[in-house]
Structure 1
Amino acid sequence: MERPVIYLHAEQSYFLNDPKVRIKDVCSVYCKDSNLQNKINCIEVYKFKEKEDGRAFMSILVLVQAISEEIPDGEIKNMGEEDFVIYYRNPQKQPSRWLQRGKIALICVTCFLGMGISIMGYNNDVDMSRVFSQLYETFLGTRPTGATFIELFYSIGLTLGVFLFFNHTPGKKVTNEPTPIQVQMRLYERDVNQTFLLGASRKGEELDVSNND
């Protein structure tokens, strides 16, 4: 009889609301035998404390061991990550809506002030007011006595440039490409997960076949 071939593909991190962790929650499984695939998906490999948020660091070998115990004659091939992080959040512990809005408002104000100070610092370093005065005098032949239309166009162009750079206008993206912030957030998330996994491996906190009860 031909041995069933089981393909596993795990991502670097998973976010769950169910304390019971089954293979289907942390890994994509493929097998020609659909009944066997459904059986593998339902295998439980870990359980969080229901009332507490938490995270667990797991090796793919834990899944391989659990599958091998249920299907001894199966041939398992891993096509994804070797180690991954599981984040659990208790669905009953919902954060305050006003607290969430307060955090968003604080981030928006911080970003707005930070960007404004950066732009003002740049304008001061290159003496933009003098540049505008020279441009005005060059093209119109008179020295400006105050703010001119050049500053207005500069402000409009700067605003449009920010929208185009961040690939986002109010309520709508300019293109389907990810924004620079989204790219940096994904890189940050990857670095955080790798740091967690490395620290857990060094401290012996990772769930592996050597310490999996």
Structure 2
Amino acid sequence: MSVMVYIRLKQKIQSQRNQTIYLRDIAYIEAPKECKQELEQVPLYTVRESDRNIVIVDIFRVIYVLRQHYAQLEIQPLGPEQTIVTIPNLKQSPSYIAVGVIWILLFIGAAMAIMNFHYDVSMEEVQQRVHYLLTGEKVEHPLWFQIPYSLGLGVGMMLFFNHFFKKRINEEPSPLEIEMYKYQLDLDEYVVYHENEVSKESMHHDSSIP
């Protein structure tokens, strides 16, 4: 009698070199309790020193391995068809000099961008004109208007990016986070497309897989 097993692969996991990846690591399993506990222990792949930073585990590989152990299973895959296994390199301590130089460059670049924008739209003249319309006096530097405006730029940027240093202002994602999420999806799709054949070939010849 066949046993129905539902498997949904995870989108992405992280592993270390020489670590064995089991089915429980890359997939959610729905099956009878005894069968589920046994399936969770099935090894799928062992990360080797020769592997690059990314390995793709395909659903067909999962089905192939399970068929070798349990011919009576009726496997129903759901969701993603591949799991991206990232293999991080050894972390190095950050260079504070490099961080400082990058921070200075970004600060100067952002300041120049804001100043050039204000120059292009003649912001100073606009502020002088607004001051004249409200007070009837011509002033070269209406500080009562310029200082709050400058502070408002910083507050507006914090609200736009939804962060105050490392603290999130509210639970709503910022536009930058949404763009980073879209970029990560595109990157994952590219990796799956270009790395899948290499990974399948590598796993096919892996002697550590039963």
TM-score interval (norm. to shorter): 0.7 to 0.9
Q: Is the 8 A contact 1:58 1:206 kept in 2?
A: yes
SS of structure 1 residue aligned to 2:167: coil
- Aligned residue-pair number: 204
Q: Does 1:20 align with 2:20?
A: yes
CA positional deviation for 1:25: 1.5
Q: What is residue 145 of structure 1 aligned with on the other side? A: 140
CA distance in 2, matches of 1:207, 1:139: 72
Q: 1:22 to 1:80 in 2, by over 3 A?
A: same
Q: What is residue 177 of structure 1 aligned with on the other side? A: 172
Of 116, 120, 142, which residue of structure 2 is paired with 1:121? 116
- More deviation, 109-118/4-13: 109-118
- More deviation, 130-139/14-23: 14-23
Q: What is residue 165 of structure 1 aligned with on the other side? A: 160
Q: Is the 8 A contact 1:16 1:86 kept in 2?
A: yes
SS of structure 2 residue aligned to 1:205: helix
Query: TM-score, normalising length from structure 1?
Result: 0.83
The amino acid of 2:13's aligned partner reads Y
CA positional deviation for 1:151: 0.9
CA distance in 2, matches of 1:127, 1:174: 33
Q: Is the 8 A contact 1:197 1:206 kept in 2?
A: no
CA distance in 2, matches of 1:123, 1:76: 62
CA distance in 2, matches of 1:13, 1:24: 13
Give unpaired runs (5+ residues) of structure 2: 206-210
Q: 1:102 to 1:52 in 2, by over 3 A?
A: farther
Query: TM-score, normalising length from structure 2?
Result: 0.84
Q: 1:124 to 1:173 in 2, by over 3 A?
A: same
The amino acid of 1:192's aligned partner reads L
Give unpaired runs (5+ residues) of structure 1: none
The amino acid of 2:91's aligned partner reads Q
CA positional deviation for 1:132: 0.6
Q: What is residue 61 of structure 1 aligned with on the other side? A: 60
Aligned-residue CA RMSD in angstroms?
2.5
Q: Does 1:40 align with 2:39?
A: yes
CA distance in 2, matches of 1:150, 1:36: 71
Q: What is residue 207 of structure 1 aligned with on the other side? A: 200
Identity of aligned residues (%): 20
SS of structure 2 residue aligned to 1:142: coil
SS of structure 1 residue aligned to 2:200: coil
The 4+ residue runs of structure 1 with deviation greater than 6 A are none
CA positional deviation for 1:194: 1.0
1:144-198 Cα offsets, whole Å, 9 max, x none, are 1335111111111111111111111234322112222222222111111111121
Q: 1:102 to 1:194 in 2, by over 3 A?
A: farther
CA distance in 1, matches of 2:68, 2:91: 38
Q: Is the 8 A contact 1:167 1:173 kept in 2?
A: yes
1:12-46 Cα offsets, whole Å, 9 max, x none, are 32212362111112111121x22211221111111
